[in-house]
């Protein structure tokens, strides 16, 4: 496992965004991300499949300079992660072996883990020993999600299995997560949540973030 001292939070609330799909320009993206961090988001995963350029480095560095305590995670694009002030990289399950070889061990490394649709068992959970254990795992899809409506949700019962396998990693739930079901997710074994459409598409994202943060901070789940 790589160094994860930066991941020592009281709660884990990640905003996931496709910056060029969710916003008309980088200025709007910056405003929304800044608002999200101010109201309680402490991890931001930036998805972007377009070409690498200096404008994106400037964008990432600007946010990081404004909010040094928030973690900026780049999805898959390891060159962008390494050449900016980003804190880490998030790697899709299908690209894990290929991408991880290019990563510095001082960066936070996250991974997506999904269930095999036919067996409803986690797949590809054990990688070669030459590769580091990810600092955090995003596991889903938990509930029905407008981001991926084609994916059948699996519910919350498999968190306990994932937690046993990745007991050294932080587990974040994704897929249909909102301020109302966050408590249920944490009770099932998740350490935090990752949210995309529930925040991005909300008519009141500030309220959603604040309520979700409050749910995460409540540690009495008996």
The gap between the terminal CA atoms of the chain, to the nearest Å, is: 31
154 occurs within a structural domain: yes
Q: Does residue 142 lie within any of the structural domains?
A: yes
Tens digits of residue pLDDT in 46-73:
998 776 678 999 999 999 999 999 999 9
Dihedral (CA of 199, 203, 205, 211) sign: negative
- Domain membership flag for residue 3: no
| Alpha-carbon distances, residue 58 vs 65, 85, 109, 169 (angstroms) | 10, 9, 22, 30
pLDDT in tens, 150-207: 667 677 777 666 667 777 779 999 988 989 899 988 888 889 999 999 999 999 999 9
* Helix, strand, coil percentages, rounded to 5, for the chain: 35, 20, 45
Tell me the whole-structure pTM to 2 decimals.
0.88
Q: Nearest-5° angle of CA 114, CA 32, CA 204?
A: 85
In a domain, 2, yes or no: no
Residue 1 in any domain: the answer is: no
The pLDDT-based confidence of 1 (bands split at 50, 70, 90) is low
> Can you give the residue range of the structural domain that contains 151?
8-217
What is the pLDDT averaged over residues 123-128?
Answer: 48
Give the count of domains, the chain: 1
67 within some domain: yes
Domain CATH number, residue 184: 3.20.20.70
Quick one: which H or E segment has residue 13? strand 13-18
């Amino acid at each position: 496992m790589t160094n994860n001292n930066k991941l020592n939070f009281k709660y884990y609330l990640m905003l996931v965004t496709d910056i060029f799909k969710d916003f008309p320009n980088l200025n709007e993206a910056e405003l929304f991300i800044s608002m999200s961090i101010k109201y309680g988001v402490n991890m931001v995963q930036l998805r972007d499949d377009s070409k690498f350029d200096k404008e994106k480095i400037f964008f990432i560095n600007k946010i990081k300079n404004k909010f040094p305590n928030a973690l900026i995670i780049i999805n898959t694009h390891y060159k962008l992660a390494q050449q900016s002030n980003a804190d880490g990289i998030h790697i899709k399950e299908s690209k894990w072996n290929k991408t991880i070889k290019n990563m510095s061990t001082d960066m936070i490394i996250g991974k997506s883990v999904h269930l095999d649709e036919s067996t409803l068992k986690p797949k590809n959970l054990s990688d070669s020993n030459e590769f580091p254990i990810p600092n955090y795992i995003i596991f889903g899809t938990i509930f029905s999600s407008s981001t991926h409506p084609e994916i059948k949700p699996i519910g919350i019962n498999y968190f306990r299995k994932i937690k046993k396998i990745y007991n050294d990693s932080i587990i974040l739930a994704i897929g249909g997560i909102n301020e109302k079901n966050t408590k249920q997710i944490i009770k099932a074994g998740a350490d935090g949540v990752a949210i995309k459409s529930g925040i991005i598409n909300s008519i009141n994202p500030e309220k959603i973030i604040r309520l979700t943060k409050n749910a995460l901070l409540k540690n009495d789940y008996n």
